[in-house]
Amino acid sequence: MKPYVRNMLMSPHTCDKEKIRLIYLLISLAISHYFEDEIEEILSKAFGKLEGLISKEDDLETISTMFEVFRLYGHKMSCDVFERFRGEHDGKFKESVVRDVRGMLQLYQASYLKTKDENIIEEARSFTRTHLAAVTSTTQPHLSKHIQNALYIPRYHCVEIAVAREYISFYEQEQDHEENLLKFAKLNFSYCQLHYVKELKDVTTWWKELDLASKLPNTFRDRNVEIYFGMMGIYFEPRYSLARVIGTKISMIMTVVDDTYDAYGTLPEVISFTDALQRWDIETIEDLPNYMQIIFRTLWEIMQDIEREMSSLGRTGGLQPTIDEVRAMDDMAIYSFLGMEDCDEKIMYEWFASRPKVILAFNVVFRLINDITTFEEELERGEGANGVNCYMKQHGVSQEEAVIELKKIIKDHHEMMMDEFFKALSTVPRQIVMRVFNTARVINLFYKEGDGFGHPDENLKAHFTSLFL
């Protein structure tokens, strides 16, 4: 299968536009990761002659596809290209756009790759969303379902392998689908699913064997499936099995640590616990309460196990972060590099440690989304250190007003994150930067209908079922 697709990509008889359409298909079917070198070569050459490619192009679907694919690979195609679809006198999108359902859908999806001050993309999103919602009852059933899925949650607010599962079903019903591509996508999905099911079973067994539930006095969150699903979303590719498992194990114990801070520890206890984490010395925890000693020791042993495993692979090189560094980064991305064996760990660690702006912007997005969705529950527990509560007190506004303003901040920082994402792609290996982008996709999915991590809704549970059963 791979040689067949590679020949399609590299064929001298295929024009650049068709190759870009093919790349979009590979991305949608979650098989582009097998051809990263070829794709980057094709897009680099094509972007160099972009003006010639688009100068006379008036097909909305083609332009939107090019815009989307180029941006995903760090080539920031200008949004001015969409001006040709607006009227010269009134500046509104032309009537012909409304009649182009597939073009509107492509533009709507591409709009989620916008950066700050790209007003035409903002207008395009609102315009296409309104008109797409109006045509779902008059289009082909499979296209209607595809549109409804996109309107419920855009593809870049959902994890890549879940997007692929839905797209495979859609693509199979397209009359012009390429049979070999479809077969490859189905085989790849099944292959990924085998990995996921085995890994989830392994980490669940490992967690049960730790038996923290019987050792600790309080009930801590048991979110094995949710945590693993999140790690799978960050790096779904089969080759990152080790990274998924390591990230899941660390996140499981960090959930216990977070619950200790948020719900169970007294102020003096958590101060002592923080001091112990900063010292990171197993020999100096005797003054901690017994349950905190158990948590610390478990965390320390997990990190030691990971250190040994990485060392056996020749991956540590003195770059293993301390737990203090992990907590300070306050993002899931730091876990990603631990098991990414195809990446230079020195480059990865130095980039993360430099606190790149894309991660700083993501941290704000994550923190505020989390604060908004968990505000009521945290208030019931008597917790005041929540962004909503802080904003209400600082500005003397209601909860509703605070949430509106915080959502504006989230939007601004999401666009800032996208801008920094494109910049980072020009200086840092793509497979590294994509972990931050993928983490944002996980967060958007988990918190779409509330606290999906703490209380998964039916749509999220449906994703779990489709990928793990």
pLDDT in tens, 322-380: 444 444 444 444 655 768 888 887 888 788 878 899 999 998 999 999 899 988 877 77
List all residues 6 or more positions away from 52 whose beta carbon is below 8 Å from its beta carbon.
Answer: none
Report the DSSP beta bridge partners of residue 93: 86
- pLDDT tens for 56-76 read 999 999 999 999 999 999 999
List all residues 6 or more positions away from 376 whose beta carbon is below 8 Å from its beta carbon.
Answer: none
The answer to whether 257 touches 220, Cβ cutoff 8 Å, is no
- pLDDT for 280 equals 87
User: Band of the pLDDT at 306, cuts 50, 70, 90?
Assistant: confident
Average pLDDT for the chain: 90
Q: What is the rounded distance in angstroms from the CA atom of residue 137 to the CA atom of residue 398?
A: 40
The answer to whether 25 touches 181, Cβ cutoff 8 Å, is yes
Q: What is the DSSP string of 116-138?
A: TT-HHHHHHHHHHHHHHHHHTTT
Looking at residue 58, its amino acid is D
H-helix or E-strand spanning residue 28: helix 16-28
- Tokens at residue 39, please? 């794709």
- pLDDT for 121 equals 97
φ, ψ for residue 86, nearest 5 deg: -110, 150
- pLDDT for 314 equals 76
Q: What percent of the chain has pLDDT over 70?
A: 94
List all residues 6 or more positions away from 448 whose beta carbon is below 8 Å from its beta carbon.
Answer: 153, 157, 459
φ, ψ for residue 23, nearest 5 deg: -60, -40
Q: What percent of the chain has pLDDT over 90?
A: 70
- pLDDT tens for 118-171 read 999 999 999 999 999 999 999 999 999 999 999 999 999 999 999 999 999 999
Query: How far from 279 is each of 178, 252, 268, 285, 292, CA to CA, in Å?
Result: 58, 22, 17, 10, 15
The whole model's pTM is what? 0.92
Q: What is the rounded distance in angstroms from the CA atom of residue 104 to the CA atom of residue 322?
A: 48
- pLDDT for 162 equals 96
- 187-468: CATH topology is Farnesyl Diphosphate Synthase (1.10.600)
Q: What is the rounded distance in angstroms from the CA atom of residue 306 to the CA atom of residue 81?
A: 48
- pLDDT tens for 179-209 read 999 999 999 999 999 999 999 999 999 999 9
Q: What is the rounded distance in angstroms from the CA atom of residue 223 to the CA atom of residue 229?
A: 10
Looking at residue 135, its amino acid is V
- pLDDT for 383 equals 66
Q: What is the rounded distance in angstroms from the CA atom of residue 435 to the CA atom of residue 331?
A: 11
User: Band of the pLDDT at 259, cuts 50, 70, 90?
Assistant: confident
Q: Which of 32-46, 110-124, 346-360 has the lowest mean pLDDT?
A: 346-360
- Tokens at residue 330, please? 């306050």
Measured in residues, the chain has a length of: 469
- pLDDT for 325 equals 47
Which residue pairs from 13-17 have beta carbons closer than 8 angstroms and sit at least 24 positions apart in sequence?
16/42, 16/45, 16/46, 16/49, 16/53, 17/53, 17/57, 17/62, 17/66
Sorted by where each begins, the domain ranges of the chain are: 2-152, 187-468
CB atoms within 10 A of CB 6: 14
User: Band of the pLDDT at 88, cuts 50, 70, 90?
Assistant: confident
Say yes or no to pLDDT of 33 above 50: yes
Q: Give how far the C-alpha of residue 257 lies from the chain's centroid of Cα atoms, to the nearest Å.
A: 23
Q: What is the CATH number of domain 2-152?
A: 1.50.10.130
On the CB side of 182, CA atoms within 13 Å amount to: 14
φ, ψ for residue 93, nearest 5 deg: -65, 140
- Of 20, 2, 19, 23, nearest to 11 by C-alpha is 19
Say yes or no to pLDDT of 317 above 50: no
Looking at residue 322, its amino acid is T
